[in-house]
Amino acid sequence: MSDLPTNWCWARLSEICGRIVDGSHNPPKGVDGGYPMLSARNIVNGQIVFDNFRWLDKASFEAEHARTKVTPGDVLLTIVGTIGRTAVVPEAVEPFALQRSVAVLKSDAAESRYLAYALDAPEQQNWLIENAKGTAQKGVYLKVLGEARIPLAPYAEQGRIVEKLEELLSDLDAGVAELKAAQRKVAQYRQSLLTAAVEGALTADWRAARGEAEETGAELLQRILAERRARWEQKQLAQFAEQGRPPPNGWRAKYPEPVTSNLTHLPQLPEGWAWATVDQCAIDEDGITDGPFGSNLKSEHYTESGPRVIRLQNIGDGHFQDARAHISVKHYEKLKKHAVIDGDVVVAMLGEILPRACSVPPGTAPAIVKADCARVRINAALVPAEYLVAALNSEPTRKRVERLIKGVGRPRINLGNIRSIPVPLPPKAEQLQILSMLSESLESCDVQRSAIEMGFSLSAAQRKNILKAAFAGQLVPQDPSDEPAGALLARVRAKRVMHEKRPKGRKRKQQKEIAVVRKLIDVLVEADDWMPAQELFRRCGVTDGAQTDQVEALYAELRSLEKAGRLAVEAVADSEGRKLYDRLKLQAA
């Protein structure tokens, strides 16, 4: 542990928080509507995002909510899967339950935002990762989490630190937002180039000046496929000769014809162009393969060096990303049918953007592809690798592949889908001209992309440095008159002891009929403006701990007003378009 200023101290989370609890370990069955149950994926960039979650019925929600009792000011921390993301529950938020992947920290010795920032700091993030256990999906157990140590400043200084952090980090976030905007513009420009290339617009003037091609795309395809069949027949005859037997009757009919294009819904191409499939672009019937599945390649097979394993993280949008993983030479020999050589095209079969392809750069082989990645060994006489990459990554191709994608949470395509992807095929000379014209522009895009990625890296490093300085006591000056953090902890401990010693009174029998304190329509008339749903509920008297009958009465009034056309509901989203909460307003009768 690093040294801290005089009035600071190190404190365990269990000392800082009066209660630490995680969400449901056995989530109830989801329903079509009702109450939200969130998980780690709903904690993003310090915000609670109400998107892609499970709905619970009333009874299930009440049971789950009674356990976690999430209230405004609580700190949420992701503790399973993606570990260490934080968010502070805001005042205006609809009630929600949680799954096991999120912990609720109820602090009584640290200001909520101070605690969230402290957990974001590099030292605490590293501790969380190091103390996560598990095989399939790592997680931090609550008992272990309670032992996490946080640098605790005097309470008054915590407020000053939070104020300074929000000033500095808001400037940093503004810079990151500008980088994201620039990133989108570069991606849009890149896509416009690729679309122009595969639709013929990029070389329209060149084509007009050159005149008719010596060999059209259709003639090129027909010639290359004939040569492919001839090679297969020669290979079969050689095998028969080696076995010392004559070719059997009908042996030529066993030729594995490559998948052809269904031209029904494909657009018209420029004069001299033709449609081919990825399967037709392959060198032979074994030219396309995916990676080994199951026990053939597991995490324990990875080594420090040896042949490469090409994974999803290696396949960038037109560029190879050098994230290294290796297996032994002995294991590589067992998996050679999945081998990759320099110049092969690799295609991602899983992810948000499909297909996504790049070529394998020189010096990468020997290598294999992993599951969810496809290798295409192309016939360079038909298409150069970089042209096929451009065609696969273009927006028109991705639009055509959309109908093939399966899975909502994990979008994927299979090897058969990849074989059947249609590719616009210009004459060979025009393919080379397209690549020549794309080269300079795409290189400029890559330079800008690299600069933007460097900007993101610098911003992330700067954020870490700011947080590190904040929780080393170097961000704001100390005030000797502040109550020391140690004295604050002592007061909190004493208060908890007194609370535990307080005699437990008998619980009063709850009345079945409890009315809403104020009618919803009265509150909306009084406000005469948009109001967050959570604030509306609070003014009506329905807060945390309210009885079911109160909640039901409020929702009955909501449904009545909505049915009568008196209620306007509007979703409030963050800068990324993710829903944060709903706000409501009364409309004229």
Ramachandran bin of 52, using left for φ above 0, alpha for ψ from -120 to 50, beta for the remaining angles: left
Q: Does the pLDDT of residue 49 top 50, yes or no?
A: yes
Pairing of strands 579-586, 567-573: antiparallel
> Can you tell me the distance from the alpha carbon of 39 to that of 103, in angstroms, rounded to the nearest whole number?
10
Q: Does the pLDDT of residue 213 top 50, yes or no?
A: yes
Q: pLDDT grade, residue 102 (50/70/90)?
A: very high
Amino acid at the residue 530 = W
3-state secondary structure of 71: coil
Instruction: Give me the pLDDT at residue 567, please.
Output: 83
Amino acid at the residue 550 = Q
Q: 152 and 356 in contact (C-beta within 8 Å)?
A: no
- Tokens standing for 252? 């030529």
Q: Does the pLDDT of residue 511 top 70, yes or no?
A: no
Q: Which residue has the higher pLDDT, 359 or 510?
A: 359
> Can you tell me the distance from the alpha carbon of 477 to that of 17, in angstroms, rounded to the nearest whole number?
26
Element (H, E) at 240: helix 217-243
> Can you tell me the distance from the alpha carbon of 425 to that of 480, in angstroms, rounded to the nearest whole number?
76
Note the helical H segments in 541-577.
Answer: 548-563
> Can you tell me the distance from the alpha carbon of 22 to that of 104, in angstroms, rounded to the nearest whole number?
6
Residue-wise over 469-486: b if at least 16 C-beta within 10 A, else e?
bbbbbebbeeeeebebbe
Q: 43 and 116 in contact (C-beta within 8 Å)?
A: no
> Can you tell me the distance from the alpha carbon of 95 to that of 552, in angstroms, rounded to the nearest whole number?
14
User: Residues with Cβ < 8 Å from 221, sequence gap 6 or more?
Assistant: 274, 276, 280, 382, 425
Q: pLDDT grade, residue 506 (50/70/90)?
A: low
Q: pLDDT digits over 438-477, tens only?
A: 998 988 998 999 999 999 999 999 999 999 999 999 999 9
Q: pLDDT digits over 151-209, tens only?
A: 999 999 999 999 999 999 999 999 999 999 999 999 999 999 999 999 999 999 999 99
Q: In what order do the strands lie in the sheet with 86-88?
A: 17-22, 102-107, 75-78, 86-88
Ramachandran bin of 71, using left for φ above 0, alpha for ψ from -120 to 50, beta for the remaining angles: beta
Q: What is the pTM of this model?
A: 0.70
3-state secondary structure of 531: strand
Question: Is residue 517 packed enough to be buried (19+ CB in 10 Å), middle (13-18) or exposed (0-12)?
Answer: middle
Domains and their CATH numbers in the chain = 9-154+493-501 (3.90.220.20), 215-246+255-426 (3.90.220.20), 520-586 (1.10.10)
Q: pLDDT grade, residue 212 (50/70/90)?
A: confident
- Tokens standing for 78? 């992701």
Note the helical H segments in 107-154.
Answer: 112-120, 122-130, 142-145
Q: Interhelix angle for 155-199 vs 112-120, to 10°?
A: 50
Pairing of strands 367-369, 302-310: parallel
Ramachandran bin of 110, using left for φ above 0, alpha for ψ from -120 to 50, beta for the remaining angles: beta
Instruction: Give me the pLDDT at residue 289, please.
Output: 96
Q: pLDDT grade, residue 327 (50/70/90)?
A: very high
> Can you tell me the distance from the alpha carbon of 544 to that of 371, in angstroms, rounded to the nearest whole number?
47
> Can you tell me the distance from the alpha carbon of 433 to that of 435, in angstroms, rounded to the nearest whole number?
5
Please report the beta strands in 407-514, taking only residues with DSSP state E, as ranges in sequence order. 422-425
Question: Is residue 454 packed enough to be buried (19+ CB in 10 Å), middle (13-18) or exposed (0-12)?
Answer: exposed
DSSP string, 210-234: H-S-SS-HHHHHHHHHHHHHHHHHH
3-state secondary structure of 568: strand
Amino acid at the residue 315 = I
Q: 229 and 251 in contact (C-beta within 8 Å)?
A: no
Q: Does the pLDDT of residue 297 top 70, yes or no?
A: yes
* CA 93 vs CA 57, 440, 530, 534, 560: distances in Å: 19, 50, 15, 5, 22
Instruction: Give me the pLDDT at residue 264, please.
Output: 83
3-state secondary structure of 99: strand
Question: Is residue 367 packed enough to be buried (19+ CB in 10 Å), middle (13-18) or exposed (0-12)?
Answer: buried
DSSP string, 301-332: GEEEEEEEEE-GGGB-SSSB-----EE-HHHH
